[in-house]
Amino acid sequence: MKPILPLRDRKKAKLRQALSDASLRLFLHKGYSATTLEEISAECDVTVQTLLRYFGSKEDLLFARQAKSLENCERGLMEAVENKSVMSYWQHFYLSSAHSVVVNPEVLNTYKIIESVPALHAKFYTIVLQYQTLLERALCMELGVEPGEDRHSLLLSYALVFGPLEEALRAIARGDGASIARRVDATMKYAFDNFKRPANPKKASARAKNYA
């Protein structure tokens, strides 16, 4: 059973969620650039100063849900390391995320907003890079090596994070949101099937060093 938070903390969490929901609603209705912090604050009957205590910028409001997602992903990957099931967990996590884009119009529209604003696009990729780092670390830990010490884990994590993402974003750009889950699944399977760990990692590592 989860511990019950003090009333003050529950009120803070409730306001934080309300600000996040209001901002997304306005972004979708008016457009990201046209929406002001004053309008978002008014929706929740608070001042801009109060809003900025919870979220440092308008960008932070749009990406508010990512902090929880990253936290859940990290926890899930650490549990998967213990069970030697990192690849299975990642496939399930990514496909679940892709499916949410298909079935939840707000999530799909959020990605459309991100794609339409260059500054948001750049911010988004810094967040995606955090997922790649988490996956690489989990793959290394599952293998029993220090994070950052296995080239295969590094490259595989990039293939499994950025490959499916690019397929999903292309589908969104084409207006083909219904194909996102299928495209993500196919891209991950391709990476699984074609990016096998070398039979002799030490030799592969030695060859790689020759190019350095």
Whether residues 56 and 67 fall in one domain: no
Whether residues 106 and 142 fall in one domain: yes
Residue 208 has what pLDDT?
45
pLDDT digits (tens, 9 = 90+) for 94-120: 999 888 887 887 788 888 888 888 889
What beta strand segments (E) does the chain contain?
none
Structural domain boundaries enclosing 69: 63-196
Domain of 45, CATH number, reads 1.10.10.60
What beta strand segments (E) does 121-172 contain?
none
Q: Is the dihedral of CA 65, 68, 73, 76 positive or negative?
A: negative
User: Whole-number mean pLDDT of the chain?
Assistant: 88
Residue 111 lies in a domain: yes
Give CA–CA dist 112/6, Å, rounded.
37
Residue 97 lies in a domain: yes
pLDDT digits (tens, 9 = 90+) for 47-80: 999 999 999 999 999 998 888 899 999 999 999 9
Whether residues 83 and 25 fall in one domain: no
At residue 210 the predicted structure's pLDDT band, cuts being 50, 70 and 90, is very low
Q: How many domains does the chain have?
A: 2
pLDDT digits (tens, 9 = 90+) for 143-184: 999 998 999 999 999 999 999 999 998 888 888 888 998 999
Give CA–CA dist 96/158, Å, rounded.
19
> What values do phi and psi take at 195, rounded to 5?
-120, 70
Residue 3 has what pLDDT?
63
Would you state the structure tokens that stand for residue 144, as one six-digit string? 């029993």
